[in-house]
Amino acid sequence: MSTIVKLPSGSWRTQVRRKGRYVSQSFARRRDAEEWALKMERRVDRGESVSKTRPDHINTVADLVDLHIADMLEVGKLVRRSKAYSLEKLRDDVGHLRIEQIDREAIIQFARDRRSEGAGPVTISMDISYLKTIMLHAAAVHGVHIPVEQVDLARAALSRLGLVGKGKERDRRPTQDELDRLIAYFESNSRQISPMHRIVKFAVATAMRQSEICSIEWPDVDERRRTVTVRDRKDPRNKLGNDQRVPLVDLTGYDAWALLLEQRAARPTKGRIFPYDGRSIGAAFRRACQQLGIEDLHFHDLRHEGTSRLFEAGLQIEQVALVTGHKDWKMLKRYTHLSPDSIVRMANDRKRG
């Protein structure tokens, strides 16, 4: 039940005692006090929190997204690119849903819609995980009553339907013929703004990710040591400040240092070495593969190829990690798909040595 008392100051104090719960608040107008008391009673009946820290404006999924981002920024935590994209999709696709409408059916429909847009099981699984993250955040930090169990039920159903799941490790390696054709295609394409022929070679030479190639800068090049520092390199255990000095070597069939000098001669600059948008690089690579009839080859496979070639050159796993940036050496095992020819070549080299 609720009790509303007028205070000597002229304001109205409301006290709500219901099912062993107690909460109070003061208002300037009696009408506001009555409305608040009714709201608190309803929350208690639904089993929701009546904490004063619970924001009253949190009503929809979009509100949950905004609340989560705001809280992260408040404590100095940046929302990284993949998470930001998933949160934006949640806001766009199901942001209109009220919190009480977040049920198993709505989540399954969201996953079906994402699948129809071309999203794979891993991407959809990440979207669902971030949905649960923002729900748990609102419940734990702000006392918002959230039907989190509905996400778990939906995930179980989606797993059975094959709409969510773990990613399959790719072992696609481009042949030398495919690389030669791609490089020749880009060299002959006068309309191509970015030096894709050089970027493809550099990707294999350094085993760098697409985003890393487009972010390294000239001031971070050490000409004496022939290294370049990659800033904030991807690391699941350390999101920021993971700077790594990477050797620019000639062990993969392409000389990383020579390619860097070529780029400097072609486009001297004080900023980024390859000042292009990573998404544009990926799009150009996909178009080229389509034009040349090269199937199931992604730009990221060039990193795989470069890493495998480093092993084929005879480097040990800890040496390869210095180039690729892998913190967990176990992750490098999937890249050790050595070709039979490379093993024969290594054996002959040892005999001659």
Cα distance between residue 293 and residue 253, in whole Å = 24
Cα distance between residue 313 and residue 307, in whole Å = 10
130 is catalytic: no
Q: Which residues does residue 210 pair with via DSSP β-bridges, in sequence order?
A: none
The one catalytic residue among 239, 245, 264, 334: 239
337 is catalytic: no
335 is catalytic: yes
The one catalytic residue among 173, 300, 337, 345: 300
For residue 26, give the H/E element and its range. Answer: strand 21-27
DSSP state of 218: G
Cα distance between residue 105 and residue 151, in whole Å = 10
226 is catalytic: no
Distances (CA, A) of 126 to 64, 131, 212: 17, 9, 23
The one catalytic residue among 104, 155, 233, 303: 303
Nearest to 232 by CA among 81, 21, 74: 81
326 is catalytic: yes
Q: Could you tell me the maximum CA-CA distance found in the chain, to the nearest angstrom?
A: 101
User: Would you tell me how many other CB atoms lie within 10 Å of the CB of residue 128?
Assistant: 24
The one catalytic residue among 91, 201, 233, 326: 326
Query: Which amino acid appears at position 314 of this protein?
Result: G
**Tokens representing 137?**
């955040």
The one catalytic residue among 89, 201, 209, 233: 209
57 is catalytic: no
**Helices H / strands E in the chain, number of each:** 14, 6
Helix axes 196-206, 278-292, angle to 10 degrees: 100
Residues with catalytic roles: 209, 239, 300, 303, 326, 335
